[in-house]
Amino acid sequence: MKIAVIGPGALGSLFAAYLSRTSGNEIFLLDHDRNRAAGLGNKLLLIDDGQEFTCSLTITAEAEKIGPAGLVFLCVKASDVAAALKPARPLISPRTLLIPLENGISHLDLSPACDMAIGVTAQGATLLEPGRVRHGGNGLTRIGFLRPSSAEAENKLLNAAGLLNSAGLTTKTSTDIVNHIWAKLLVNVGINALTAIYDCPNGELLQKPARSQMLAAVKEGELVARARGINLDNDPQALALQVCRDTAANISSMLQDVRRGRPTEIAAINGALLTEGRRLNIPMPVNEELVRKVLALSSPSIQEI
């Protein structure tokens, strides 16, 4: 099958690298930056458990050269989704299954011209430099539809899960993906901003005083989620602690952004929660402070929330 990954960031590179090790598939990585795509020379270096693997695949900025793909993973920042999907249109046909894997909840409103399942992943990935990705922990990926779907779409979903599992990216299909999206949002609410503020890998949040700040931020998020009728199967605080342990060596996506001087996803993560909290009249002092502090770390051009 033809499989395309949009976005050569940490998660996109990780997925593309792992998928390139499956047999019988053609793997493409779409990068909007023509020069960078050419410079990567159709290779990704995957660093996993201290070992290095060179992965061969096609890396290009030209979606027309890839053409319609059976499976497309969208792995760009929440704020870049619209800008990334427009030039990626040649990848999409009615036979495609699109799986966005963004943090936050803004991508849930997308309406592409193909079936769309939402992906939620706890995989840890750090982009050391373009084309060089370190796997920071093998967290579970869940994929599922937001609404009831056709039998054909369900088949595509099962195939996608089988493929990811055969690539070594542990994946389950889900019939209540919206609850997992919120569970992941609360993990990101707890981990991402604090790792950026403390400039530390995820595992260091298990120590004081970050630990209690993380738990307080997640608790506020849990109140919002429950007020919205979201069914959280696992204790969100326990889950945030678990993800810190599972991805201990990982540099969170937000800290990677701050270190590179790029816009962060603070608006899509803690900011999205503040919006919901205000709507529901739930005070969120801890998340307000996290948003303030991360905005202060970022470039002045980044907007207020």
**How far apart are CB 251 and ligand KPL at their closest, in Å?**
7
Nearer to ligand KPL, 129 or 148 (CB): 129
For position 174 contacting ligand KPL by CB under 6 A, the verdict is no
- Minimum distance from CB of 303 to ligand KPL (Å)? 20
13 interacts with ligand KPL by CB under 6 A: no
Select from 122, 133, 189, 267 the one that contacts ligand KPL (CB under 6 A).
122
- Residue 210 C-beta: closest distance to ligand KPL, Å: 13
Tell me the C-alpha to C-alpha distance, in Å, between residue 11 and each of 88, 102, 146, 149, 289.
18, 10, 22, 27, 28
> How many residues line the site for ligand KPL (CB under 6 A)?
13
CA distance 8 to 30: 7
Question: Looking at this protein, which amino acid is placed at residue 246?
Answer: D
Q: Min. distance of Cβ 240 from ligand KPL in angstroms?
A: 9
Do 233 and 225 form a contact (C-beta atoms < 8 A)? no
Report how far apart, in Å, the C-alpha atoms of 47 and of each of 122, 134, 137, 168 are: 17, 5, 11, 14
Give the containing element (helix H, strand E) for 136: strand 132-137
Contact (Cβ atoms closer than 8 angstroms) between residue 117 and residue 137:
no
253 binds ligand KPL (CB under 6 A): yes
Q: How far is the CB of 140 from ligand KPL (least distance, A)?
A: 11
CA 151 from centre of chain: 27
Query: Closest distance between ligand KPL and the C-beta of residue 45, in Å?
Result: 20
Question: Is residue 250 near ligand KPL by the rule CB under 6 A?
Answer: yes
**Residue 147, C-beta contacts closer than 8 angstroms, at least 6 positions apart:** none
Give the nearest distance from C-beta 85 to ligand KPL in angstroms. 20
Instruction: Choose one: 174-182, 186-194, 204-212, 297-305; the region binding ligand KPL (CB under 6 A).
Output: 186-194
Per CB under 6 A, 270 contacts ligand KPL: no
- Which run of H or E residues covers position 135? strand 132-137
Alpha helices in the chain (DSSP H): 10-19, 34-39, 63-66, 81-85, 151-167, 177-198, 210-227, 236-246, 253-260, 270-279, 285-297
Question: Residue 114 has which token pair?
Answer: 């193909």
Examine residue 247 and tell whether it contacts ligand KPL (CB under 6 A): yes
Answer yes or no whether residue 192 interacts with ligand KPL by CB under 6 A.
yes
* Smaller CB separation from ligand KPL, 75 or 286: 75
Region binding ligand KPL by CB under 6 A among candidate stretches 13-21, 53-61, 110-118, 246-254: 246-254
Give me the residues that bind ligand KPL (CB under 6 A), please.
Answer: 103, 122, 124, 187-188, 191-192, 202, 243, 247, 250, 252-253
